[in-house]
Structure 1
């Protein structure tokens, strides 16, 4: 870190800037502030030019928020409001002993109001290149934050099931005899019209059971973000987390702000990054919720690497009971490669294998997007 200021003081200053942006109405989450501090630590905290572009790359998510961001940056780090003229202001250092100046551009390059002139600043932070096929375990903090923002936009079409109720459909396979009889009595000698019926459809319940043990540390946070997106897209989604015990977190994900939802879920799950007891956790789900109707006709998605410290016989027995209660069991395993035909050779996967209807991979963004697109068919 630079001379003239200690690390805690600089971090406190940067966090305060995030609070100032949030106070002015910008949607700045806790993850954004953490990523902002990480980005500044990789550059030069004494250079306000680096601080400006780090904050602009991590704290601003919409183009129309840029003027407000520039104004708050001037006030917070410069101690004065934005100038009336077009000239760029100079700023005082963040802490005594640190020096730096910053020219804030008036418009984005390539925007409608600009004339494609080069940017004023000599250095500019480039956007994070997103590779959808890059494993979550290999992504940097900035890449993971960008991937989570993309995950929030994933559209989910839940699987559907046919009910016993019927509706009118010209191409239906069954004749609507009652309606045809009423028409015959009302129309007398008019030629009868054939009316047909088909079965109604409604979303099939979806149950997500996420492994948050230590072996899943590189994937559990992203899978939880994906579960949050699925819960926002379809209300018939139940979410559970397990390590050595099972915890229901469905209600904690009903928050508009994903950061708040993740924070509440992390506080509720007490065995995060601990051991793994898949069989005992599934038995708890069956005993407390599955037998009471939560898994009836549902598609159950188990997200785990299959590295279990429990008894394989207990896992196999729990999977057998669960397969009799639910419609389908999908196992999402980050250790699965490009081919989902062969499950990983772990003891847990070998015990659960005979009861798995479909195997999916959740190791990167591309696999999650593919799973969301195909869920209506495989579920």
Structure 2
């Protein structure tokens, strides 16, 4: 494609630098590298690194030289690759913070260098377990980049409708007889039908009050990723009132979507009325079938200034309308023996099916991994 021509030129230039550094890189290797990068993001330095390492490096001894050339070509100040690809400084900073892009650490001798990208997974894992308030701005930007790649799949439920299947309890008599007639009455194989499955609705209700200020924006980013990854996802925000922001998060650009959602919410960083907000959700949307058979995820610390009885009644009605209620409380952290101490959490606890923390990226990833198993 014409718009990819400058990008191909960058890859060819990088391969030329590798040849100058002593690596054996042939024309076929360069073509393979270009083909590997075609469906990937050219601004993603990790994609650039691993695609090149998989296609251009044929010997283990060449990895250190490859790392040096990659850093010099894409990451150093005035690097030709970053200039030609017009990589913004923020993209390089995010990759440095979150992905530990290729670098070298001095060994015992001055001429010995050790590539550290091989330890990328452990460094990313450490960043995922760092609480949101403890992260620097660069680390928060890196976390948002990682969060955008989270794959979230709601659980499925079996419907009453059936479809042809290789096995099952119900025989497909129509197909069995039809195949037998095609064989002029000779017995044909027995065919079966299986129950169809469909995704359960997923509803996220996010607390954006002042006590959740350190977490609400990251939970909103998680909600955007969920909205983009799954089909039946609804997102609500509440402080002193409930606001539906599902349509605002439909924009393809994450920054624009989050900006539209922020403009739609008028009580950001204000007070908290969980009971009134959930009661509004149940009366206006829950009873109309929005959460029927679905999974409702409430993200809040439970600090409620409203009436506890109203919250208890709303949670009781919500538990009867939906399939499961998952509550994310950042105060839980990594404490496996966490016991609710706020009035809101104590009142809501009898109706909660699963209590998680949501204080870092690892806990959000845990939620994403557990959702398909909530059957």
Measured against the shorter chain, the TM-score band is 0.5 to 0.7
CA distance in 2, matches of 1:309, 1:317: 16
* Deviation sequence 1:166-210 (CA, Å, 0-9, x none): 111122121112222333344334123111111111111100000
* Deviation sequence 1:51-88 (CA, Å, 0-9, x none): xxxxx98xxxxx96542438x99xxxxxxxxxxxxxxx
More helix by share: 2
CA distance in 2, matches of 1:66, 1:173: 62
Alignment of 1:116-195 (within 5 A): 131-195=127-191
In structure 2, the residue matched to 1:370 is: 366
CA distance in 2, matches of 1:274, 1:189: 75
CA distance in 1, matches of 2:156, 2:281: 23
Alignment of 1:148-297 (within 5 A): 148-297=144-293
* Deviation sequence 1:337-377 (CA, Å, 0-9, x none): 32456443211111011111111120001111111111101
For the 8 Å contact 1:216–1:304, the answer to whether it is kept is: yes
CA distance in 2, matches of 1:194, 1:265: 54
State the Cα RMSD in Å.
2.9
Pairwise CA distance, 1:378: 2.5
CA gap 1:109/1:366 in 2 versus in 1, 3 angstroms: closer
Q: 1:361 aligns with which of 348, 351, 357?
A: 357
For the 8 Å contact 1:174–1:197, the answer to whether it is kept is: yes
For the 8 Å contact 2:333–2:358, the answer to whether it is kept is: no
* Deviation sequence 1:292-314 (CA, Å, 0-9, x none): 11111111000111111111111
CA distance in 1, matches of 2:336, 2:317: 24
Q: 1:313 aligns with which of 304, 309, 312?
A: 309
In structure 1, the residue matched to 2:60 is: none
Classify the secondary structure of the residue corresponding to 1:335: helix
CA gap 1:339/1:375 in 2 versus in 1, 3 angstroms: farther
For the 8 Å contact 1:209–1:303, the answer to whether it is kept is: yes
CA distance in 1, matches of 2:271, 2:323: 29
In structure 2, the residue matched to 1:324 is: 320
In structure 2, the residue matched to 1:69 is: 86
Pairwise CA distance, 1:147: 0.5
CA distance in 1, matches of 2:169, 2:247: 41
CA gap 1:109/1:361 in 2 versus in 1, 3 angstroms: closer
* Deviation sequence 1:199-222 (CA, Å, 0-9, x none): 111111100000000010000000
How high is the TM-score relative to the length of structure 1? 0.67
CA gap 1:269/1:184 in 2 versus in 1, 3 angstroms: same
CA distance in 1, matches of 2:83, 2:112: 18
CA distance in 2, matches of 1:240, 1:136: 21
CA distance in 2, matches of 1:241, 1:151: 19
CA gap 1:309/1:361 in 2 versus in 1, 3 angstroms: same
Pairwise CA distance, 1:109: 7.4
In structure 2, the residue matched to 1:335 is: 331
CA gap 1:265/1:64 in 2 versus in 1, 3 angstroms: farther
